[in-house]
Structures are given as C-alpha cells and as structure tokens.
C-alpha cells in the first residue's frame, strides 16, 4: 500500500518560499511512490489552546468546534509529516504554533498516560522545513527545539530539517534551488525504508 505523507504549511503566504520548499518535499515523496496531501493552516481556523486541562483526563482535546479536527484526523493515519514554517520572531509562525499547542493532548497521552501510539510498528517520520529572512546561522535553532518537541509529543521520529536562510537576499535564486533539491531528496527519503 502507498505510504501517506501529510504536508502542513504554516506560512500565511501560500505561494512563498516556505510553500515552494514544502511542495518540493511532497514532490520527492510522490516520486518515491507516496500519496501526499497538503493543508495550509492559513486557510483553516485553529483556536489557541486555552489550557482547560481537560485533555489531562482522557488525552483528547475537548475543543471540537474548529478546524483542528482536520489535523487530528490525519496525525495517526499518515506515515510521515512535513511541517513547513517561516521564522517569525525567532520561532515558528503563529499559525504553526497554535496548531502545535493544540497537540497538548498527544503530549498528555505520551508523557502522562505513558501510552505509545505505535507499539510494535514504525513510528511516522517528521521533517521540518523553514525559511528565514536573516543570514545568521543560529536563526533556526529556537524553532528547531519547538518542532522537535512537537514531533516527540505526537510520537513521530524526527527526520531532520531543510532550512533556507537570508530569503531577503537579491541573489536568493541559486541557494533556493539547492534548498529545493534538498527538500526533494528529504521528501523522497521519508518514504524509503
């Protein structure tokens, strides 16, 4: 059966650099035989976590009225996820962070109830794709911590990252082409053994 790869776009710019890198990663996954699907968080309505703590009881988010259901219904069904976000004030975008915070119920499942979701089978892989305006090397470090914690909470294996800095550079094109190729290869290897 074909593997399923979910792409989540956390950029409000639906055709920006982050979107291009995500598309390349999904293209790579398709070239390796996967079925892919892409959700743009900017098109969904996802409320911030209200820390009602109701998920402490049953490891399930009690807020059922927003588009977070689109994400919940896919997280346990796919073999891999590509999470793509621009860097906003040193971290992931607000759209991405709202989605991540609403996954607290998975954190509860793993760390409070001590239940592993994929006992006896391979855990899904999580790839991080990000773009930043700055050329500073450390610019992605805080977001990497956030995303690694997210993938650990949903019990995915962290499969690495594809990062494109200095997107404001007038000579972005050749570096972007390299990052697109890296994303394609990373997407392909999400599907491999």
What's 132-153 look like in SS3? CCCCCHHHHHHHHHHHHHHHHH
Q: Which is nearer to ligand FMN, 110 or 133 (CB)?
A: 133
Q: How far is the CB of 109 from ligand FMN (least distance, A)?
A: 31
Comparison of 72 and 166: residue with beta carbon closer to ligand FMN: 166
Q: Which two tokens stand for residue 86?
A: 């621009």
Among residues 28 and 86, whose Cβ is nearest to ligand FMN?
86
CA distances, 165 to each of 30, 60, 80, 178 (Å): 26, 37, 24, 12
Contacting positions for ligand FMN (CB under 6 A): 11, 13, 16-19, 86-90, 131-134, 139, 167
Q: Report residue 133 as tokens.
A: 């305006």
Closest approach, Cβ 89 to ligand FMN, in A, equals 5
- Nearest distance, CB of residue 95 and ligand FMN, angstroms: 11
Query: At closest approach, how far in Å is the CB of 161 from ligand FMN?
Result: 15
Task: Decide whether 20 or 155 has the Cβ nearer to ligand FMN.
Answer: 20
For residue 33, the Cα-to-chain-centroid distance in whole angstroms is: 20
Q: At what angle do helices 17-31 and 172-191 cross, to 10 degrees?
A: 40
């Amino acid at each position: 059966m074909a593997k399923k790869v979910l792409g989540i776009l956390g950029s409000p710019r639906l055709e920006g650099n982050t979107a291009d890198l995500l598309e390349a990663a999904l293209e790579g996954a398709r070239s390796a035989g996967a079925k892919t699907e892409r959700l743009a968080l900017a098109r969904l309505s996802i409320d911030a976590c209200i820390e009602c703590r109701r998920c402490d009881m049953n490891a399930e988010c009690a807020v059922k009225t927003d588009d977070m259901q689109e994400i919940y219904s896919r997280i346990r069904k796919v073999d891999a996820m590509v999470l793509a976000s621009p860097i906003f004030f040193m971290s992931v975008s607000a759209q991405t962070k709202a989605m991540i915070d609403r996954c607290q119920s998975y954190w509860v499942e793993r760390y409070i109830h001590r239940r592993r979701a994929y006992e006896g089978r391979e855990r899904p892989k999580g790839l991080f794709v990000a773009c930043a305006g700055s050329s500073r090397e450390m610019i992605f470090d805080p977001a990497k911590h956030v995303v690694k914690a997210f993938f650990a909470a949903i019990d995915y294996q962290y499969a690495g990252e594809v990062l494109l800095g200095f997107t404001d550079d007038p000579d972005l094109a050749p570096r972007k082409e390299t990052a697109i190729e890296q994303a394609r290869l990373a997407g392909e290897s999400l599907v491999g053994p």
